[in-house]
Structures are given as C-alpha cells and as structure tokens.
Amino acid sequence: MTTNSLYFVNWWTDTLIIGGLSIVTWVALLAFHHSADAQPIFWFALVLSLVVNYPHFSATVYRLYQSPDNIRQFPVTAWGLPLILFGAVAASLWQPGAIAPYFLMLFLLWSPYHYSGQTIGLTMVYARRAGFPIGRRERMALSAFVFSAFVCGVIRFQQTGSSGGFTDFYGMSVPAFPLPDWTEAAAQAVMWTGALVFVGFAFVWCFGEKRLMPPIVLLPALTHFVWFVPGASLKSFWIVVPFFHSLQYLLIALVMQLKVRIDVVRGEHSWRRIGAEARRWGSRNILGGILLFIGLPAAFSWLPLPLMTIAGILAAAVNIHHFFVDGVIWKLRDTATSSALMMNIAELAGPGAVDLTRPKVVEA
Amino acid sequence: MRNTVAGIVLAMFAGSARAADVAAGACDPVLATPREAFLAAGIAAMIACGVTSFFLAGRVSERTHVALAMLVVLVGGFCLFTLFGLVGREIPVAGSLVLLGVIGLFKLMNQFEIRRKPSRSDK
C-alpha cells in the first residue's frame, strides 16, 4: 500500500475536508465567537451554500440523471419518488399550517440521520483503504456510536434552536420533536459504549498488525461527534455543519466523477484533463444547485404564499430526494462504486491508471 | 395480559376515534377537514403504487416491486406521522416510540431500490 492510496487526494486535503476544517472551526467559534447573534455567520453560510451546499445536491441529481442507464436501472428512484415528493410538496403548499410542519419535521429529523449514514460510509471507505476490516461486530459498535450521537444532536439542536416548542425554518414554525427527558442520557450511554467497543476493536487490530491505525479512519466518527454532541449546543456552529457535510460529499463525488469521465471514457490522463473535468463538473453543479434552490422556488412564486415558505418546502423535498438517491448510488457493495472509492486522484493523472471498474476482467 | 394490551391500544387510539366521531356526519367530501383530505390523498397514492406494481407484474424486476412497496410504506409512514408526530407532547414515552419508528423508516428507506442478495427460494 502506498502512502497515497490511503487518501483520495493527500493527507492535508483529505484531513481538512473530512473533518479537520470543521473541528478547527468549532474550536475557533468556541474560543472567539461569544456573540449570541448568529446572523453574520448565517449570511456567511448562505454564501458558502451557493458554491458547496447547493452543488452537493445537484451532484447527486447529476450522477443519477446523467446517464439513461442509471434511469433504467433505478426507475422508481428516478421517476416514482419525485412524483410522490411532488404530491407531498403540493399537500404542504396547499396546507402550510396543517401538513407542511410535519413534512419539515420529517426532513429535519432525516437530515442528521443522513449525515450519520455518510459518517459510517466514510469510515468504512478509509478503514478499507487502511486494511482495517470492518465486520458485523465493528459495524454494530460504530453504528451504535454514530446513531446515538445523532439522537443526542437532535435533542441538543432543539434545546438550542427552538423557542416555545417551535424551530424556525425558512420563517416557518416547525414543532420541536417531543422526547422524554431521559432520552439524552440513554443515547449518551449507548454512544459511549459503542465508542469504547469500537476503539477496543481498533486497539486489537493495532496490536495484531503491530502498527498504528491511520487517524483518518477515526476522523469521520470524531467529526460526527463534534457536530452532534458538543457542537450542537453552539448555534453559530451548527449553522455551518451542512457546509462541512457537503464538502465531504463533494470530495468523494468529484473523485467518482473523474473516474467515470477520465478512466472509463479512456481519454487523456493528465492533471490538465483532471482540472478541466473538475471545472466542468463544478460549474454544472453550481448552476444546478442555483436552479434547485433558487430557480425552483422562483418558478412557484406565483402561489399566494410567502416566497420563503415555498423555498423551505421545496428545499425539504430536494433534500429528501437527495437522501434516497444517495442511498441508491453509493452502495459500497457495488463493484464499480467500491473500486472507485479505493483510488487516489493521482492515479487518473498518469497514463498507467488501472481500470478499477473491471477487476473481475483483470482477474480472469 | 391480553386485556391490558388491548386497553393500552384502545387508549392510544381514543383521540383518533374522537376525531372520527366529529367527522361522522361529514360524509360529504366537501366537509372533510384538510387533514382528512390529505389522508385520503395518501391512501390514493398507496393504491396507485399497489396498482402500478400489479400491472407491472412479470415486466419489471423484483427490486422495482420492492421499491414500489417501500413507497407505500413511506406514504403510510408519513400519513401516520402527521397524525401522531406530536403525540410525545401528551405522552412523553410515545414520543420515543415515534422517534424509533421514524428511525426504522429511515433505515428501511436506506435499502431503497438496491440490489438484494438472492433469497434461498431463488437458488
């Protein structure tokens, strides 16, 4: 195993994007941002949304709908699900007081759950790259840690972000999800047990292999912990958590896209080509994100509702669609996906890049 | 024990039953409350998924049929969520059960339209 093959790009880039940057931001906000007014950070996050958050949704849509093969392979996700979501959006717009709050509540619960799924996926990818096998027991311990942290986060977000039992979302009052007082203590107990067991497995592996586990393997889970446990009580921080989640996603999605475009099409293998493909993909996704989150609400602005209400409901629908599509297109058990997730970007720059999408052919 | 369980279930659904009482005279669809109209639309969507699955029998893969069944679960789950999503405000323990149900729904949806391992009967 080369040093590079542990990372998608290199130590610095992967460490910063996967969690380093968000942990540094949390520490900085904790140390220097003492104002209760989170408005400046909100506006900053909104600007970042245009170039990171919105494109991350667009990247999923692009990945699913860019090829007719994908649409044929996943017809319910490509056609059936948008129809159902269109129905939910129509019902929410028709009854913004009776149905929309529940639709938004569902989205606000699903979103951190989705982040948890990404954390587990990233840990699995880096563990596989490091040669640390994640079997059923390891995965159970990791899931216990990650999903309990998610429950803690939901409780803390509501404590920090809601007033009078309601959370503000795009100017709408979404009811806080009611839970008994002991839930957080129970979730913390499960979370720490899961963490201890997983770290135990990591220690056993280190002793067996006589080497240290690369920190990048544990970084996604540590980052997730910072986002959902200590970070969830800091409003100025959790405003930017979606940005960091999207950043993680874009790194992986970019590598996947480059793999599809450069390796499979069998074009020129060079950094120049990588740069051109990345710019092309990035600009398309920025445009797609603007269409999804600004263009789509503008198209419905003729409805007799505040534009923010329309934008909030549509944003929830785009998010939920993303959660489904993500689950479909990023399954590690899929050979093409898992092999692409094992590569380093430099492999695409050299002429001798290995065609990892067809390992069985190579073996044969 | 069975009587206790039946009693708890009856108590839980008493609120919904009262809602049905209030709506008992509302046979006229025009008089249906917005929530009742939404539930009717949800039921219609579930029927549409079932009918689609029926007419596609033999023409599409098992994975597509399973995905359509999961859409039924999603629509039904959301309809129940609009009815009982805030039950935890009255009964805190029920709030935990709703959260567990919602997590179960998310977990199930995570398996949406993916390749499944062949069952024993397929071998």
Rounded distance between C-alpha atoms, residue A279 and residue A258, angstroms? 11
SS3 at position A162:
strand
- Cα angle for residues A267, A270, A276 (degrees, 5° grid): 80
Q: Say if the Cβ atoms of B64 and A75 lie within 8 Å.
A: yes
Tokens, residue A324: 């489904």
Using the predicted structure, report yes or no on whether residue B12 has a pLDDT greater than 80. no
3-state secondary structure of A321: helix
Which residues touch A138 (CB under 8 Å, ≥6 apart)?
A198, A201
Using a CB-CB distance cutoff of 8 angstroms, which residues of chain A are in contact with residue B87?
Answer: 178
Predicted local confidence at residue A356, as pLDDT = 41
- Put simply, the answer to whether B35 touches A99 (Cβ < 8 Å) is yes
pLDDT at A140: 97
For A7-45, letters b (16+ CB in 10 Å) and e give: bbbeeeebbbbbbbbbbebbeebeeebeeeebeebeeeb
Instruction: Give how far the C-alpha of residue A344 lies from the chain's centroid of Cα atoms, to the nearest Å.
Output: 20
- Which tops the pLDDT comparison, B115 or A156? A156
Report the gap between the CA of A262 and the closest CA in chain B (Å): 26
In order along chain A (364 residues), what is the average pLDDT of each group of 10 residues? 74 96 95 77 89 95 87 91 96 93 94 96 94 94 97 86 78 84 93 97 95 95 96 88 96 89 72 90 95 96 94 96 90 71 84 44 28
* Long-range Cβ contacts of A184-190 (<8 Å, 24+ apart): A184/A151, A184/A152, A184/A155, A184/A156, A187/A148, A187/A149, A187/A151, A187/A152, A187/A155, A188/A148, A188/A152, A190/A144, A190/A148
Residue B116 pLDDT > 90 = no
What pLDDT does A354 receive?
46
* Residue B97, both tokens: 């059960």
Q: Which of A76, A181, A335 to mutate to test the interface with B (most CBs of B within 10 A)?
A: A76
Asked if the C-beta of A177 comes within 8 angstroms of chain B's C-beta atoms, the answer is yes
Cα within 13 Å of Cα(B10), Cβ side: 6
Question: What's the pLDDT tens digit per position in B54-94?
Answer: 999 999 999 999 999 999 999 999 999 999 988 888 888 89
Q: ipTM value of the model?
A: 0.87
Q: What are phi and psi of A234, to 5 degrees?
A: -110, 100
Inter-chain contact B86–A175, Cβ cutoff 8 Å? yes
Domain residue ranges in chain B: 33-114
B117 touches chain A (CB under 8 A): no
Q: Between helices A100-130 and A241-258, what is the axis angle to 10°?
A: 50
Which residues share a beta bridge with A173?
Answer: A168
Taking the CA of residue B1 and the nearest CA in chain A, the distance in Å comes to: 26
Q: Return the SS3 of A357.
A: coil
